[in-house]
Amino acid sequence: MEQARKESRMAVLEIVTAKSARAGILRNPTRRVRTFDAGLHKLLEDMIFTMREANGAGLAAPQIGLDQRISVIEWPEDPDKPEETLRRYEVINPEIIKAKGAEEGQEGCLSLPGLAADVVRATFVLVKFQNRHGQEVRLKVYDWLARIFQHEIDHLNGVLMTDRAEALYRIVENEQGEVELIPLERVAA
């Protein structure tokens, strides 16, 4: 009952896409958050709700038209038990302190619907950020979670996955209802 009441107060925010009138915000570095209050907490809840409704793993403030260094991420610790191990991260004013390894993986983006990209990312990152109360957090993340953190932090710096792409694909559904990736172009050598 409490969860239903809480969700009824949350808003699904409009996601800015590369083709929208406000797309320019996706290309601008964001400003640091300096106020940690109830307004920020409400924004974080709305961002989580919006990300879930859009079936995303992360969402950054520029993607909802805000010039703030804020992102939210949800990812399961155990892919075999996603419901039981889902972790939520509220990431404010993040910095990548250390990065190691490199691996190519396929990414999507809520601001680039219908596209996928092969992107090389670090397999380990140490991230420093603040939580919703302004307290500093240092977090070591690996593999896909490291990829998601890097993707969302890129958004906060005005960088899109297409800027780092080795290859781009159009996501299409074939006649059998299966998803196919159609190569668009070779982006980098």
Which residue numbers are catalytic? 152
Domain ranges of the chain: 2-103+122-162
Strands (DSSP E) along 12-54, which ranges? none
**DSSP3 helix / strand / coil % (the chain, rounded to 5):** 30, 40, 35
Strand partners, 69: none
The fold for domain 2-103+122-162 equals: Peptide Deformylase (3.90.45)
pLDDT tens, the chain, 189 aa long = 455 555 557 899 999 999 999 999 999 999 999 999 999 999 999 999 999 999 999 999 999 999 999 999 999 888 888 888 899 999 999 999 999 999 999 999 999 999 999 999 999 999 999 999 999 999 999 999 999 999 999 999 999 999 999 999 999 888 898 988 899 865 544
CA pair distance 60, 13, nearest whole angstrom: 12
111 CB-near residues (< 8 Å, 6+ apart): 15, 16, 17, 18, 26, 63, 155, 160
pTM of model > 0.85:
yes
How far is the C-alpha of 86 from the C-alpha of 84, rounded, in Å?
A: 6
